[in-house]
Structure 1
Amino acid sequence: MAGAADAQVGSLERLVMPGPVASAHADVEAMCSDCHAPFARSEQNALCLDCHEDIARDLATNAGFHGKEPTISGLECSACHTEHEGRDADILGLDEASFDHSLSNFPLIGKHLELMCVDCHAEEHATYHAAETQCSACHAEDDVHRGNLGDACADCHAETAWTDTHFDHEATADYALTGKHAELTCTSCHVDEVYEETPATCFGCHADDDSHAGTNGTECQDCHGTRNWEDTSFDHFVRTGFALAGGHGGLTCESCHEGNKLTVQTPTECVACHRDDDAHLGVNGVVCNDCHRVTEWLDVTFDHGRDTEFALRGTHAGLMCADCHVEPVAVAVPSTLCFDCHAEDDPHAGQLGAACDACHADTQTAWPEGVRFDHDLASFPLLGKHDVLVCEDCHATPAFHDAGGQCVDCHAEDDVHERRLGSDCALCHNPNDWLAWVFDHDAQTDFALTGAHDGLTCHACHREPAVDAIVLDTTCAACHRSDDVHEGEFGQNCARCHTTEAFLDLKELQ
């Protein structure tokens, strides 16, 4: 009886079918029970998902459009997908222009955003859900590796551009691409796109570049870096105990290591390489670094002031060793006395002795510069206008000792007194100004100028040149003999009666 009832229900459903189903369901159009439970709408979704297993998985795992779109949960399938509207009806209801692909299992980024739906969802795919998500499914013909690296293209390539790669060579292959290696293409090392058993040692690729021809082994990285072949990282000091400093730093290995054989012990003594450069011809020994630097041969470290008792200053500092050391230092040591080297330069002809440094400084760059002679310590201090004179104004020759110490020695032609006041000009005159003279006759002589004497000129009494000291007779008669109306009758002591105010002014006799 049950079978008959079911048949009646099926016949009834076909009789009430509202219209033809879409072409996708045409094969099951006559089997209503595949999609409908008799008079039970609540079982409708379960029947849809029995056939659409991929949608069922998405809903169960919250994947794909049906699993991610929040508004779908709890809806009947028929709410979006209406059937029985004819063979050509669009029961999918998909608006390709507004569809949010990020709700699918394959968000569109990079170049994929520029594609049309049909570029990936081709006719051979029965449903949109059937489109492949593996790169190789679409890009197999673009694979320059010809499948040798598998189908996980996204491990290296980005969706912005096929050539935009992000493969981490160090993390994936345990071989960091640094220096020049980072600029290479994959096929530079992986010939013919073969990625297995690629050599990881320098020598595996650079055997032909080895200028040492294998004599230094195969561990190239001990000396060379990846930046360039010539840029070596070999620490010569750490590895050999011989630092490559100064001029040595710019040399090639072959400059010292003959035949580029680094394993052969190379001498470290300077003279071993520089014997032909030794201007001393060996007389100063073989320890060149006592004097010379490694920066350049002529840059010496020998400190003459520290290592000898004669510091090189001024012009001396610019001299060559051979300028003073006319014989090797092992044979003779030059004198340190100025006069021993500069006797021929002495303009004083030896009159001032051999202690040149008493006046001349060795810090100067020329012989006459920087003279530090203090004339005030000599017998003739330079005062007044004498202080601004140059040596030659008084010293006619560089002998200096030939200059006199008396004013008259220089100023004889300036003596308006013509020696009548002697040769000691300083009694009246001072070095500040020739005409600014001061002489106190009363204090500086035994003959006070009083009365009419006070208005006389010097030459009124001092009429004859004085050779040395001034000696004048101070008696009245010495000057006034011709004025004596007494004709000597009362002697020569005129002052008994007369005063210096006037000859006729007589004293009152007591």
Structure 2
Amino acid sequence: MRWTAILYGSVGAAAVVAGLLIPWLVHSRGSAGAPGWQGLVNPGALSEAHRFLAGECEACHVPHEGVEAKRCLTCHTATSFADKPSTRFHAQATACATCHVEHLGRSQPTQMNHAALLEAGAWLQAQKPHAGASLAALDCASCHASKDAHQGLMGSGCVQCHGTESWRISTFQHPPAASTQCSECHRPPPSHTMMHFSMVSQRVAGKKARVDQCFACHVTDDWNTIRSVGRYDHH
């Protein structure tokens, strides 16, 4: 019984010493201050883009505090977020880790959290939705305009049909294949607005239809499948 008590006491004492010594060494000397400890606390592999930082915890983390946004800027300070509408809002971000989550072993660390766009603590936007606003208050088109499959035909009220969890609309039903009003929703690709349309597209389809008579050459289940011809990916 005595030896068991001594054993348990020794293990407990060692755990207490390690619990105090390791944080002190890491805080004062960095992640290399206590060799081998990282293997005990590492939550998972970094993304491919950040894999070169493996083992260098303080490159992103502040001891006892967590990820610090300004450390992200050490590498990303030269990134021009204003080049694309979909990344322009990053210029006012104050908490990178809200959407960029590491240690999941994925190819990309991005895990978009639309709700974070309503948090004043993460975003300092001049025209931020008022406190307590719902996701419906977000201006979806300000980021997604370049990927608007509707090409502006449906306006900017994306939230009327789309959600933030999935872009698909479960209740959407495409008009029947016999419909002849395709041009109300679909605009022609650039190839249809130049001589390519008469020299190639019309000849391949074997039709003399106008560019707004989509139904004469196309089917509704695959835009690149031409009636009586089959799949022809030439746009």
Shorter-chain TM-score tier: 0.3 to 0.5
In the superposition, the TM-score normalised over structure 1's length comes to 0.17
Q: Which has the higher contact order (CA 8 A, sep 6+)?
A: 2
In the superposition, the TM-score normalised over structure 2's length comes to 0.33
